[in-house]
Amino acid sequence: MTLPIGSPVSTLPPGIVPDLRQLNGRYSRLEALDPAKHGAELWTANLKDETGALWTYMSNDPLPNEAAFMAMLDKRQATRDPWFYAYINRTTGKAVGMGAFMRFDRANGVIEIGHIWFSPALQKTREATEVIYLMMRHAFDDLGCRRLEWKCDSLNAPSRRAAARFGFTFEGIFRQHLVYKGRNRDTAWFSLLDSEWPRVKAGFEAWLSESNFDAAGRQKAKLQLT
């Protein structure tokens, strides 16, 4: 009896490890997180989140002061997997968010985008969409990954909507997956495959083109990835 097996993989991942190279876009760029360079700007951006709501689904609570915030950034800069980036608005030159590549599975060509933190200055802007696009492009076009993952607390509705908007496919819920901040987390899993990337990439690039925005920076057409 012949049992079904998976399709052969003719091209293996090249085995490139994330190196925190600068990633450049039209409206934003990603730089390796550097507390000396980005810390004060990120702290200022954080202060606009007066309720601390942005930290609800993060692994830590809001930091009580700038010193504690900088200590967190120092730890993030020192780590490798996750590899942390600062998100820079190219118009202002200021850091307005951060995120990371993580859980890199070199043998199977899998990586995850995580620890995404958008300050109020970055939320609901074209720069917010572009920074995720730049990470996705780097994962597939530079690192040669076969699979890109996005995970979040299943109760985090904004993150789940973002994953769907960015072209990720919902794969299911890992029940009682984690305990963080003393509470349970059921985790929603999403993925994007290398075979799907060309279509998604074309949709991002059409949306991000200068012609898709008016003089006030408002979009003319919505992001279409299907």
Residue 220 has phi, psi (to 5 degrees) of: -95, -40
Which pLDDT score, from 0 to 100, does residue 12 have?
Answer: 66
| 3-state SS assignment for residue 118 | strand
Once rounded to an integer, what is the mean pLDDT over residues 95-99? 97
Kindly report which listed range (43-47, 60-64, 132-136, 194-198) carries the lowest average pLDDT score.
Answer: 60-64
DSSP code per residue over 157-225: HHHHHHHHHTTPEEEEEEEEEEEETTEEEEEEEEEEETTTHHHHHHHHHHHHSGGGB-TT--BSS----
pLDDT at 57: 94
Q: Parse the chain into domains and list their residue ranges.
A: 23-212
Task: Please provide the CATH number assigned to the domain covering 23-212.
Answer: 3.40.630.30
With a pLDDT cut of 90, the percent of the chain lying above it is 83
| CA angle centred on 111, ends 143 and 123, rounded to 5° | 100
CA distance 159 to 153: 8
For the entire predicted model, the pTM comes to 0.94
pLDDT of residue 49: 87
- What six digits make up the tokens of 69? 């915030």
Cis ω for the linkage preceding 82 (within 30 of 0): yes
93: left (phi over 0), alpha (psi -120 to 50) or beta: left
pLDDT for res 14: 67
- For residue 11, give every residue at least 6 positions away whose Cβ sits within 8 Å of its Cβ, in sequence order, or none: none
pLDDT in tens, 166-217: 999 999 999 999 999 999 999 999 999 999 999 999 999 999 999 999 988 8
In 10 A of CB 193, how many CB atoms? 14
Q: Residue 51 — pLDDT band, cuts 50, 70, 90?
A: confident
Sort 15 into a burial class: Cβ within 10 Å, 0-12 / 13-18 / 19+: exposed
**Quick one: average pLDDT of 10-29?**
86
d(CA 166, CA 139): 14
What's the pLDDT tens digit per position in 128-155?
999 999 999 999 999 999 999 999 999 9
Token pair of 34, please?
A: 């550097």
pLDDT of residue 216: 86
Q: Do 121 and 89 contact (CB within 8 A), yes or no?
A: yes
pLDDT at 221 (0 to 100): 93
Average pLDDT along the chain:
94
Measure the CA–CA gap between 153 and 156, rounded to whole angstroms: 5
Tell me how far CA of residue 142 lies from CA of 14, 29, 85, 159, 185, in angstroms. 9, 16, 16, 25, 32
